[in-house]
Amino acid sequence: MAAKDLIDKYLSFFQARGHKIIPGAPLVPENDPTTLFTSSGMQPLVAYLLGETHPEGKRLVNIQNCFRAQDLDEVGDNRHTTFFRMLGNWSLGDYFKKEQLPWFFEFLTDNLKIDAKKLYISIFEGFDKIPKDEESANIWKELFRKKSIDPQERIFYYGPEKNWWSRSGVPKNMPEGEPGGPDSEVFFDFETKHDVKFGEKCHINCDCGRFLEIGNSVFMEYKKGKEGFEKLPQQNVDFGGGLERILAVIERKSDIFETSLFYPIIEMIVRLTNKNYINHAKEIRIVTDHFISAVFIASSGVYPSNKEQGYILRRLIRRGLDNFYKLEGKNIEQVIHVIVEQYKDTDTYLVDNFEKVKNIILEEEQAYNRTLKNAREFIAKKYGTKKAGGELLGMTEISADDAFLLYSTHGLSPAQIKSLGYAFDEQEFARKMEEHQKLSRQGSGQRFKGGLADTEEKTVMGHTATHLLHKALRDVLGEKVHQTGSNITTERVRFDFFYEKKLTSEEIQKVEEVVNQKIKENLPVHFEILDIEEARKKGAIGLFNEKYGNKVKVYFIGGGLSTSSGRPYSAEFCGGPHVNFTGEIKSFKIIKEEGLGKNIRRIYAIVGE
């Protein structure tokens, strides 16, 4: 079955059960302050899980392209990838366990004809004041019995480290305000031989690769409060199923890289390297995964750089090339070509972006080769070609300081430095690295906390402040000003916009005054769901990256266009959440204004001081 057919089957299954199909969010969120990439289906829907109204209703279904940088080092086994697609269905305070579990089971066994005898289930065993999920266990038992399968030995209970889902993982890592809940996962048994390297006995959560997790139903009904967990105002379902993994089950490939989705890419790498897949599976899987991710990320408008998304793209391309070169591969362009062929049915824009993406990757390859050459020259100049003896025979021994220099100025990872033939004191290197990371964390603030800041009070205040700032800039500088991006943490607001010149200090002061005046007026903030055209006609502005079919959510500050409360001060497309009254922001201060390249300016501001 082609990936596209599986997607279509899933969407129509849930559409027939009252769900509205919504488009996936962009892989690189344009206006999400808290995260570099969309890494789960739930991420763009957090506000709705917390209680905001979704324009398309309470039952939603979608396919979400996801990227998880944290899985980069896991890639190489039979099932981990950094880029993947998640089948998602959502109940926003509508149905719950007794609908969700039977539906997913029916989809797997009746629609996809997956043998129920090969399915195993994990359930939340309870933690602190949150009880064991007996209700899900009873539903699963009944479902197996109906298929004449004894549910004994099929259902296993685990604690929060396995059967609890939130964006920040286990309950103790969740910040206040973060939603989460117990989950129930479904595993498929490939009946491959257990590898004792992973423990004496095999079990469904074992890492040996015999059991593959294919879907996770999260019963999102809790929120972390000041004193432990509170119930959310509504019971939600957040289901996520790995498209690539379900495909592997349908095609009976315990190695997802051998499915019809990936194998043509593997074959191309085998051809270009003249190496056999079985003997070089790890490297070939890394090349496959990293270039798929690179194609999708570059296609989203990211360029390799030393910062944020650009840094991840650079790392993927360079790590992919390390493995490709290790296999003596040449002509990576061919790999990019097959990747686009494999994904073009579901992600048609890849075809139009092919030339651009290819050039980004090939230019980065040249830059990387120049870096390697410079690094070699730098070391040769300083150390000559002398080689160390003993264990390090054949390696040039360099100081940890110089190794760190290769990392910090040439962007080479310790593994890359070693693969160039240089040995160094790794403990000393790790110490330097820790120091460096401590410093850059103080710079990068909240961002890597795991996409959480958006529900914190200060961030919500910052979010409304960007709407006021956007409008105030237009009031002071003219209507050609428009937002090109924003990034909000609990520490500060960052706002990018189109404008040709540096702002004068008078202009900055004026903008600040306007925003503070609107805060003082304590204007009400509310949203309405409107047809896109209607919203545009009524003057709603903003980055339009929340796509809901024909409907959009518009936040109004100070009255509403379709209410009787007069003209609003600001109307913007936005997903929320926002404060209820502008007075909650307390104060607004611009701390920096700078240029970001041609015609784009950036403002940093603080709120609520």
Q: Which residues bind ligand SER (CB under 6 A)?
A: 40-42, 88, 165, 216, 218, 238-240
φ, ψ at 263 (rounded to 5°): -60, -40
Q: Using an 8 Å Cβ cutoff, are 237 and 91 in contact?
A: yes
Question: Judged by CB, which is closer to ligand SER: 163, or 288?
Answer: 163
Give the nearest distance from C-beta 218 to ligand SER in angstroms: 5
Rounded CA separation 44/160 (Å): 23
Question: Judged by CB, which is closer to ligand SER: 34, or 582?
Answer: 34
| The two three-digit tokens of residue 103, written as one number | 């539906």
Question: Judged by CB, which is closer to ligand SER: 204, or 469?
Answer: 204
Give the nearest distance from C-beta 251 to ligand SER in angstroms: 22
Question: Judged by CB, which is closer to ligand SER: 451, or 462?
Answer: 451
Question: What is the residue type of 149?
Answer: I
165 strand-pairing partners: 181
Give the nearest distance from C-beta 85 to ligand SER in angstroms: 12
Rounded CA separation 488/507 (Å): 22
Query: Between the CA of residue 332 and those of 324, 337, 367, 369, 431, what are the distances in Å?
Result: 8, 9, 15, 14, 36
| The two three-digit tokens of residue 470, written as one number | 């956007």
Query: Between the CA of residue 310 and those of 13, 70, 301, 304, 543, what are the distances in Å?
Result: 38, 16, 10, 4, 21
Q: Which helix (H) or strand (E) holds 98?
A: helix 97-106
Rounded CA separation 373/22 (Å): 48
Q: Give the nearest residue (CB) to ligand SER.
A: 240
Give the nearest distance from C-beta 61 to ligand SER in angstroms: 12
- DSSP annotation string for 38-52: --SSSGGGHHHHTTP
Question: Judged by CB, which is closer to ligand SER: 218, or 412?
Answer: 218
Question: Judged by CB, which is closer to ligand SER: 40, or 288?
Answer: 40
Give the nearest distance from C-beta 277 to ligand SER in angstroms: 29
Q: Residue 255, Cα to own-chain centre: how many angstroms?
A: 24
Give the nearest distance from C-beta 606 to ligand SER in angstroms: 33
Question: Judged by CB, which is closer to ligand SER: 222, or 239?
Answer: 239
Rounded CA separation 120/507 (Å): 64
Q: Using an 8 Å Cβ cutoff, are 174 and 168 in contact?
A: yes
Give the nearest distance from C-beta 168 to ligand SER in angstroms: 12
Question: Judged by CB, which is closer to ligand SER: 60, or 461?
Answer: 60
Give the nearest distance from C-beta 180 to ligand SER in angstroms: 9
Question: Judged by CB, which is closer to ligand SER: 20, or 318?
Answer: 20
Give the nearest distance from C-beta 166 to ligand SER in angstroms: 9
Question: Judged by CB, which is closer to ligand SER: 179, or 304?
Answer: 179
Q: Using an 8 Å Cβ cutoff, are 96 and 64 in contact?
A: no
Question: Judged by CB, which is closer to ligand SER: 240, or 568?
Answer: 240
Give the nearest distance from C-beta 238 to ligand SER in angstroms: 5
Query: Between the CA of residue 501 and those of 474, 477, 485, what are the distances in Å?
Result: 14, 10, 18
Rounded CA separation 283/68 (Å): 19
Q: Using an 8 Å Cβ cutoff, are 273 and 329 in contact?
A: yes
Q: What angle do CA 542, 543, 546 make, to 5 degrees?
A: 115
Q: Please tell me whether the peptide bond between 577 and the residue prior to it is cis, using omega within 30 degrees of 0.
A: yes
Rounded CA separation 62/44 (Å): 12
147 CB-near residues (< 8 Å, 6+ apart): 109, 116
Question: Judged by CB, which is closer to ligand SER: 39, or 516?
Answer: 39
Give the nearest distance from C-beta 402 to ligand SER in angstroms: 42
Strands across the sheet containing 600-607: 482-488, 493-498, 600-607, 588-595
Question: Judged by CB, which is closer to ligand SER: 25, or 398?
Answer: 25
Give the nearest distance from C-beta 489 to ligand SER in angstroms: 23
Give the nearest distance from C-beta 186 to ligand SER in angstroms: 12
